[in-house]
Amino acid sequence: MKLLTFSLWLVSISAGFFTNALANEAALDSRQSSYTLMTAENKAMQDDASLNPALFWVMDGQGLWQEKSGQKAIACASCHGDAGTKMRGVATQFPKIIKGKLQTLESQINQCRVEKQQAPELAYESKTLLALTVFVASQSKGMPIAIEETQQNQKDLQQGRQFFNERMGQLNLSCAQCHQDRAGLKLGGSMIPQGHPTAYPIYRIEWQSLGSLQRRLRNCMSGVRARQFEYGSPEMAQLELFLMWRARGMTLETPGVRP
């Protein structure tokens, strides 16, 4: 009798996991930014402009936006004008298909540099690329993420979803196993977040620096002993697209602070 109750209990637990996993993808309202998991001090660091170190990069980006660069000697502002009005809402739509290619905000900035300014590409995670990215992205602060499934991005989105659900690495884990099925539980001492990219580029205290979503994704990939996707690779863009689609409607917090 005792054995029977125990196995029944096991069945109900695993059934619980299963329905949870399904429900999480469907129930958009239960989504939360990992901002809500932070301590009051870290929340204050993000919210208070006099405490948020990411603002240094935003200021640098503002300078770079006006700075003439490349053989054409034109600045971002020469074409795009005032970032405050022209760039508002732009970051909520990336990654985006532009001229048939899926571009992240970073790769689009580089695309602009090479094609329009005729300047060399900026390296991923370089201070200049992070500064420009965070400057552009922070213009959309407070706006809802606006990625929708379209005919054009359907294939990439599907591929991104597959990466999210596919087991990888020596630990043989998928993104979904932690950040969807077990979000809210603990890994070591810390809460597993739902993994919504609502604040990138973020100032991560652990990094002591600003970093991109791709850096964060590579973190997890090395954590599960997987071969990391390359910076700026199509795989990265597809995974980023899926994550942003998964977070659609959530508020963009850039520039965010995370522990």
Partner 1 sequence: MSKTSRTVITMPAQAKQGSIIEIRAIAQHDMESGFRYSEAGKVIPRDIIRTFSCTYNNVPVFSADFYPGIGANPLLIFTTIATETATLEFKWVGDDGYEAINQAHITVT
Q: Least distance (Å) from partner 1 to the CB of residue 86? A: 25
Q: Pattern 201-220, binding to partner 1, x per CB under 8 A?
A: ----x--xx-----------
Q: Least distance (Å) from partner 1 to the CB of residue 59? A: 6
- 54 vs 147, beta carbon nearer partner 1: 54
- 10 vs 51, beta carbon nearer partner 1: 51
Angle between helix 127-138 and 105-112 (nearest 10): 110
CA angle 124, 151, 181 (to 5 degrees): 65
- 50 vs 71, beta carbon nearer partner 1: 50
CA distance 207 to 68: 31
**CB–CB of 132/76 below 8 Å?**
yes
231 contacts partner 1 (rule: CB under 8 A): no
> What three-state secondary structure class fits 78?
helix
The label of the residue with tokens 């910076």 reads: 231
Q: Is 112 a catalytic residue?
A: no
Residue 185's alpha-carbon distances to 21, 28, 152, 188, 192, in angstroms, are 14, 19, 36, 10, 6
Residues 24-83 interacting with partner 1 (rule: CB under 8 A): 50-51, 53, 55-56, 59-60
Catalytically active residues, by annotation: 220
**Residues at the site binding partner 1, with contacts judged by CB under 8 A:** 50-51, 53, 55-56, 59-60, 205, 208-209
